[in-house]
Amino acid sequence: MSKSRSLLRYSALAYAVLASGALHAATKAIPLIPNSSIKLVGVELASVTYKGRKAMQVTHREGEDGRSLAILPGIDFTDGIIEYDFAGDVKPGSGDGFRGFSGLAFRVQPGGSEYECFYQRPRNGRSENQEQRNHSVQYISMPDFPWQRLRMETPGRYESYVDMVPGEWTHVRIEVHGARALLFVNHATQPVLIVNDLKHGISHGTLALWVDVGTVAHFANLRITR
């Protein structure tokens, strides 16, 4: 067989493999409608229309701190792509120190006892304080690696800057493979945050909508590709 024919055959085989993978990739939409099968940990839910979109409103409940989740049922997620839209801001009457903490937890264990999470601080996105801007997006791994520990032990490694506007719809994509996860915001082609060492290693679990103190957030268009 000639060299050119060998190359042609190899290219066709490579294309067939890639096409096969693309055909087997499936995207599943996750309904965001409040119901009794969603486990609430420190949050309240409501079905609303927010700035033209049907959305799940997730509000932090007073008295809960650090583990505030709406845990979604019927999902067993290990690797894949998670996409969603959110609009996060502070609750009315919250002080200046609150930043609209909103995000998504993945590989969540029963009751929210353990999980990985990327979250955003929308009020930092256009802050006049550069240090605050540098803390716009954050990775945490609960319960052993909250943001305070990660910032103290490895400053800057698990948080980054991205442009966001509080209360406005923002698109998020999370790519997870093994012990590695990448965070993309607003359809960027490059990740705003890369985590090469997910603290729980390779695990599986469900997804949860995540908020923290003083936050009301809206979530829509949640889907998984794997």
Instruction: Give the tens place of pLDDT for each residue, 184-219.
Output: 999 999 999 999 999 999 999 999 999 999 999 999
The Cα-based distances of 186 to 64, 81, 143 in angstroms read: 30, 15, 29
Residue 139 CB partners (closer than 8 Å, separation 6+): 116, 117, 118, 150, 158, 159, 181, 183, 193, 195
Has residue 126 been placed in a domain?
yes
Report the alpha-carbon distance of residue 213 to residue 94 in Å, rounded: 9
Report the alpha-carbon distance of residue 4 to residue 98 in Å, rounded: 63
pTM recorded for the entire structure: 0.87
Has residue 9 been placed in a domain?
no
Provide the mean pLDDT of the chain: 90
54 closest CA partner among 29, 80, 37 = 29
Q: Is the pLDDT of residue 4 over 60?
A: no
Domain that holds residue 81: 27-225
Instruction: Give the tens place of pLDDT for each residue, 148-180.
Output: 999 999 999 999 999 999 999 999 999 999 999
Has residue 11 been placed in a domain?
no
Has residue 6 been placed in a domain?
no
Total domain count for the chain?
1
Has residue 12 been placed in a domain?
no
Residue 97 is given by DSSP the state T
Q: Which of 89-93, 105-109, 222-226 has the lowest mean pLDDT?
A: 89-93
Has residue 211 been placed in a domain?
yes
Has residue 18 been placed in a domain?
no
- CATH number, position 59: 2.60.120.560
Instruction: Give the tens place of pLDDT for each residue, 108-138.
Output: 999 999 999 999 999 999 999 999 999 999 9
Has residue 21 been placed in a domain?
no
